[in-house]
Structure 1
Amino acid sequence: MFHVVLPPSPRSVGVARWLIAEWCAPWVAASQVEEDTVESALLLASEVITNAVVHGDGMVRVSLSRVDGSSLRLEVSDDGGGMPLIGAQRADAESGRGMAMVELLSTRWGTELGVGPLGKTVWFELGA
């Protein structure tokens, strides 16, 4: 399992993408995880981590693990109280489609409340 704690900064999104790609590289090289799965994970990680930076509170915790052999599970946690929403967006909206992409591209996804009054984890799985 890969785990990193990042500051709530837009730069953390790029750092997390780089770390995830590096962590997955040996699995791709060994044909244990498809390269397309990793590319989808990087795209969706960008969306979920951006949400944690913009709408969350406190440090952003990112965890990545393999499940069921070739599938990936990514979890992003923060101390904010709001849960992500998938809602209808205006056609000309410049943001607000991230969780719709997570729902569309992931095998499964969900949210979990943290311990205490605040905090949440948004997770998704990709693969077989």
Structure 2
Amino acid sequence: MVEQSETLEARLRLVRRRSSVPRARALLRAKLGEWRACEAPADMAELVLSELVTNALRVAVPGDRMIGVRIRCRGRGASLRLEVSDAGGGRPVVRRPGELETGGRGLLLVEALAYRWGVDERSAGIGKTVWAEVMAPGASPEPASVEAEIAAATVRPGQSVRVWGAWCTVRSVRSERYASGGLAVVIGLDDGPGLRMDAAEPLMVRDGAPPTAAGGPVVAS
């Protein structure tokens, strides 16, 4: 039996072809069964993983570079972290396609289904890792021990964001539409004016109250 606090992990390398999408989903299903994980977030996780792998397949990369997949399971499936790495440059951006467009909604789906998502530079090698966390209803997220850059739309009250060279606590988050129809996010902070920014714009975030030193917030170097 998997203990509630235990975190399990699986990794897979995929070749750059369409058949890798169902292969990634099959790995996820197999591992959740092996780990005897609850099925609450499994369907959502399959959709999210499919979109992340599909996006990675579309990235132009040098040579025959493969795609890396990592699945982390915590609390018998209450929390799933899905990571997809590719060797391409640039950063994925949430698109707002028109009603007549047939594609371009992958990250919109990820944004809607995931508790949070973001993009990290790979610690070794070239490229990036796009990650998403899927939560079962009522589950608590895995605490973030390090900073991460995520889309503004996925920021939550209680987290800390780095703005103006310092860490500030997020007090409120609401969304509103631009006149052009795009989605904006308004973030209320405990110190200074609020932020109004595009929903897909990246912010550096960490969970919990901001780090402090004798007298105030830590200023970024």
How far does the alpha carbon of each residue in 1:63-109 deviate from its partner, in whole angstroms, 9 at most, with x for none? 00123552000000000002111022111111111101111111111
Give the fraction of aligned pairs with identical amino acids, expressed as a percent: 36
Segments of 5+ residues of structure 2 without an aligned counterpart are 1-8, 140-221
Residue aligning to 1:38: 42
- SS at the partner of 2:13? strand
More strand by share: 2
Mapped partners of 2:130, 2:19: distance in 1: 20
What is the 5 A alignment of 1:1-128?
1-27=9-35, 30=36, 32-33=37-38, 35-57=39-61, 58-67=65-74, 70-115=78-123, 118-127=126-135, 128=139
Query: Displacement of 1:114 after TM fit?
Result: 2.3
User: 2:74, 2:105 → 1: CA distance?
Assistant: 26
Give the gaps of 5 or more residues in structure 1: none
Higher Cα radius of gyration: 2
Count of aligned positions = 124
Amino acid at match of 1:16: A
Query: Compared with structure 1, are the counterparts of its residues 56 and 37 closer, same or farther at alpha carbon in structure 2 (3 Å cutoff)?
Result: farther
Structure 1 segments (4+ residues) deviating >6 Å: none
Which structure ranks higher in relative contact order (CA pairs < 8 Å, sequence separation ≥ 6)? 1
CA pair 65-88 structure 1, distance change in 2 beyond 3 A? same
CA offset at residue 26 of structure 1? 3.7
Q: TM-score, normalised by structure 2?
A: 0.52
